[in-house]
Amino acid sequence: MNTSPKRTTVVVVNINKTWPEVEQGKRTAAEVTLGDWNPYKSNSKTIRAFEPDEVGLVLGYRRGVIMTAFDIGAEAVQWLEDYDPHRVRWEGSPSVEWTHLVEKASPVTWKQGEGVAYKTLTLDELTRMTVDTVPAPGEGGGVSPEVTVSLGAVKVSLKGPRTVVVTAPDSMDVVVRRG
């Protein structure tokens, strides 16, 4: 059973154009999914399509498939004022609760030529739309056994609910912070 945090907005971002940079190792999946997004409606600089501070989950969409799922932490919105209108970038971590959506058909889709970069829905709507994709009890209890994110030359894998494996080149320092 999914429990809704205070931030109940889900943003599904279209990463069709930027995902090849991930495949080429030029950017990370987190970079193309979490930033830099214009939160305003159409050409407005004042009317927002969503409130960035209310976003609890960002999903990356490409060609009908969810490629990434990131939980957004508290106070994890950065406003980028160099853009006109301003854009937002979130800080997030790979979602354990929603990882079952990754590499599955997206609950929302884009039509060819549709000019919006993102679509929004609530966590309740996402839950209803994806009820058939949640693993049954005994099949992971809603948590997939492994999620791996590539961050350049580094791979971070979540193996079950309590184990994280970081694979990095020998020349790189790895710092672990708990808390």
Say how far apart CA 123 and CA 113 lie, in whole Å.
Answer: 27
Single-letter amino acid code for the residue at 124: D
The structure tokens 């190792």 sit at 25
Tally of domains within the chain: 1
Give the Cα-Cα-Cα angle 132, 165, 95 (nearest 5 degrees).
30
Residue 103 lies in a domain: yes
Residue 93 has pLDDT above 60, yes or no: yes
Write down the pLDDT at residue 19.
94
Q: Domain limits at 21?
A: 9-142
Write down the pLDDT at residue 157.
75
Residue 44 lies in a domain: yes
Q: Where are the alpha helices (DSSP H) in 5-97?
A: 19-23, 29-34
**Average pLDDT, integer, range 3-19:** 83
Pairing of strands 35-37, 146-151: unpaired
Q: How does pLDDT run across 105-149, given as a tens digit for each residue? A: 999 998 888 878 999 999 999 998 887 765 555 444 444 446 677
Say how far apart CA 104 and CA 39 lie, in whole Å.
Answer: 26
**Virtual CA dihedral for 14, 16, 18, 22, nearest 10 degrees?**
110
Residue 176 lies in a domain: no
pTM of the model: 0.71
Residue 162 lies in a domain: no
